[in-house]
Amino acid sequence: MGQLLLMIGLADSVPNAGGQPHPEYPGMVIGADGVARLAHIGSLAFLFNSLLLTLVVGLCILGVSERHRSRKFLAGMGGSWLFMLAVWWMMFSTHQEFLMTGETGYFMGFPVPTAWQMYGTWLGAIPIIVMYSYGFRTFIYTYEDEAEFDALLEQATRNSQQD
Amino acid sequence: MEAYRQEIIVGSVVIYMLFCVATGLWAMRRTHDSSDFFVAGRGLGPIVVALALFSSTLSGFGFVGGPGLVYSIGVSSFWMVVISSTGYAVGFYLVAKRIRMIAELRDCLSLPDVVAARYGSDAVRFLIALTIVLGVMGYLATQILAMAVVMQAILSGTETFANIGLVSCVVISSAVLIFYCVTGGIIASVYTDVVQGFIMMIAGSLILMTAVSVFDGGMQEATAIILTDDSEAIMPFGSAGVMASLGWFFVFGLGLAGQPHLITKMMMNKKMSDNRSILPMSLFGYVMAALLWISIGIVMRAAVIEGVVEPLALPDDAASTFLSIFANPLLAGVVFAGLFAAIMSTSDAFLNIGTAAIIHDIPKALRGRSVDNELFWARVVTVLLAIVAAGFALYSHYADATLVALLGAFGWGTFAASIFPVVAVGLNWQGATVAGAVTAISAALLINFVVQLAGIVLPYGISGPLVAFVTSMILFIGVSLLTKKPELAPDIEKVLRI
């Protein structure tokens, strides 16, 4: 990801890629030419976020004890990762489509690409959250873990009393 | 009712502040030692922790700066909101369980305590404490200033206080904040957070209902107006562009697990198993409250473009202008109380962790033990910290904004870059070393400082905090791999395996 960031930073620059002042309303910023802004870095940015989503899922797996990373758990995480990537792909591709055609539909108040971003991105992590809540005693903190930790606490109490 | 708009708003804010004072007095009777003062004796229930967690996440920035950002740069700023599910998920998977276990096992009062236990290093403890103190000063100063500015705007609309000065407003708002933080410590802080959280959720949902009724065609008409004016503003990457948006996704998403005022709350729940319900409840609360951020910003941008509302002098006026034009006085009262709630819930969390860093962590790192009579000194330092932050706030307003802007750079992004690798990754990876942690924290502080001081603007809207975050992660992992694998204390090693 560091390398991607470097490549994006060194890519051919586009004037006002980070926006420009609105010609009529002070304080407002416009994005203007969406095609130009993505011309040199579109695919790199797509890859960057794909890796970020992979990192998110990877970190969640890291947070679970090795002995609880069962096939069921990894399958759940894999499914969540695919879901997040699919949402990202839909957002990116519908935006590209809009840039080419200038036309878009609406979903729940927002243009379709933005609806994918707003509802899709937020919902993208929900499967991981559901796994955490419903799988808490299976993957996160099992009754065996609890017993092990209680024993550790007892040991610590005994040690401090001896000291 | 419209004739009494200002009185209703002032009344709502006064009732809210009286509630804070009463909570402080109530919590004082439950605060017997420094453990009660800093971590509520690790005895809080899931609803309290969940509401405290989300209300501390959404500061005054969310209620004032958030709508202003949407007004200014469109959908780009949505990324700070939609990452909440990812951010909370990563935070709970990586931090919630192990920080709670180490806190109980080693009787930790603060995040630097946990870090010192994990790495067996006072150098890492010191650097984390230093980062917290720097960040707290910047955050607190900006929050106190925001609180005073809003209070002045409200009070100056009444006949009695028409000429009230900013200094008086800083004094009044800081006095309430200091009172309940000093008397009740974190217990007062989290219980006020509960009510603050409820107010914010109610405010968010009522504002959404008001916002969708501004245009006959609802939210779709508002977004269509923006689309016609500048399509990029309402497309997924907004006016600020793809890298600014993804940078926020990275820094705000992963970075949530590196915010000391939030992850410290993960040490306070009574039962570990409560985490399973705290996560979804926090997320639900955050989303409800954040509806205000998105809906006001979109509607105000569309309303200005359509000529329904005069162009705003400043983007940050979006929320107050919306409330004065479109909201019922009662709703405006709730939202203004919600605004104070949002600011205070974040400020009290920062006061608490800043005080812990000064009287507990830094002395421990430097001389091996904390100060004597911790509870007394905690109260004294809470007052001093708030006074110094208020002083910074006034100085920045009247004389020179550079200092607070500089300290403000030690905000979310720096916490994310410095603390996330060391805490969130370090609590889950036995290979993490002291050298890796020291290098990561130092690099994060340095990069953020240099980018801020030199005013460096990176291409394509790439932000300094994003560069700092990616760099510190790479350095943390790289240096840890290159240095000798540490020998962990046996109890910590067991915790890292559970």
Interface with A, mutate which of B88, B93, B309 (most A CBs under 10 A): B93
Contacts of B72 in chain A (CB under 8 A): 27-29
Q: Distance of CA B151 to CAs B168, B170, B383, B401, Å?
A: 10, 9, 21, 20
Judged by CB atoms closer than 8 Å, whether chains meet at A56 and B280 is answered as no
Please determine, for residue A145, whether its predicted confidence score (pLDDT) is greater than 60.
yes
How far off is chain B from A72, nearest CA to CA, in Å?
17
- Spatial separation of the C-alpha atoms in residues B435 and B421, rounded to whole Å: 13
Residue A163, pLDDT score:
66
Residue B60 tokens, joined: 């005054």
Contacts of B420 in chain A (CB under 8 A): none
Residue B160, pLDDT score:
82
Interface residue A54 vs chain B (CB under 8 A): no
Residue whose pair of structure tokens reads 């979109």 in the numeric block: B298
CA A154, B368, B389 angle in degrees (round to 5)?
105
Judged by CB atoms closer than 8 Å, whether chains meet at B254 and A45 is answered as no
| 3-class SS shares of chain B: helix, strand, coil, % to 5 | 80, 0, 20
User: What single string gives the DSSP state of each residue in chain A?
Assistant: -HHHHHHHHHSPP-TTTT-EE-SSSTT-EE---HHHHHHTTHHHHHHHHHHHHHHHHHHHHHTS-GGG--HHHHHHHHHHHHHHHHHHHHHHHHHHHHHHH----EETTEEHHHHIIIIIHHHHTHHHHHHHHHTIIIIIS-HHHHHHHHHHHHHHHHHHHH-
**Closest residue of chain A to B251, computed from CA coordinates:** A52
Judged by CB atoms closer than 8 Å, whether chains meet at A18 and B84 is answered as no
Judged by CB atoms closer than 8 Å, whether chains meet at A136 and B276 is answered as yes
Residue B346, pLDDT score:
77
Judged by CB atoms closer than 8 Å, whether chains meet at B85 and A129 is answered as yes
Q: Distance of CA B125 to CAs B317, B433, B470, Å?
A: 41, 13, 22
Q: Which residue has the higher pLDDT, A111 or B19?
A: A111
Residue B317, pLDDT score:
82
Q: Please, what's the b/e burial string for B410-420 (b: 16 or more CB within 10 A of its CB; e: otherwise)? A: bbbbbbbbbbb
Enumerate residues 6+ apart whose C-beta is below 8 A from B14.
none
Contacts of A110 in chain B (CB under 8 A): 219-220, 223, 234
Residue B473, pLDDT score:
94
Enumerate residues 6+ apart whose C-beta is below 8 A from A130.
none
Judged by CB atoms closer than 8 Å, whether chains meet at A62 and B425 is answered as yes
Judged by CB atoms closer than 8 Å, whether chains meet at A152 and B491 is answered as yes
Contacts of A66 in chain B (CB under 8 A): 497
Mean pLDDT, rounded, for A137-148:
94
Residue A81, pLDDT score:
96
Residue B173, pLDDT score:
83
Interface with B, mutate which of A6, A12, A29, A80 (most B CBs under 10 A): A29
Instruction: List the single residue in B88, B212, B249 with the smallest CB-CB distance to A49.
Output: B249
Domain ranges of chain A: 2-144
Query: Chunked in runs of 10, what are the mean pLDDT values of chain B (498 residues)?
Result: 79 83 80 73 85 80 80 91 91 95 90 93 93 84 81 81 85 83 76 81 88 93 94 93 90 90 88 93 89 91 94 85 85 81 79 88 86 84 88 76 56 87 95 95 90 80 88 95 89 91
Residue A2, pLDDT score:
82
How far off is chain B from A81, nearest CA to CA, in Å?
12
User: With a CB-CB cutoff of 8 Å, which residues 128-147 of chain A face chain B?
Assistant: 128-129, 132-134, 136-137, 140-141, 145-146
Domain ranges of chain B: 2-399
**Closest residue of chain B to A115, computed from CA coordinates:** B236
Residue B42, pLDDT score:
76
When the pLDDT of each residue in chain A is averaged and rounded to a whole number, the result is: 91
CATH 1.10.600.10 at B2-399, yes or no = no
Report the 10 Å Cβ neighbour count for B487. 8
Contacts of B94 in chain A (CB under 8 A): 59-60, 62-63
Band of the pLDDT at A47, cuts 50, 70, 90?
very high
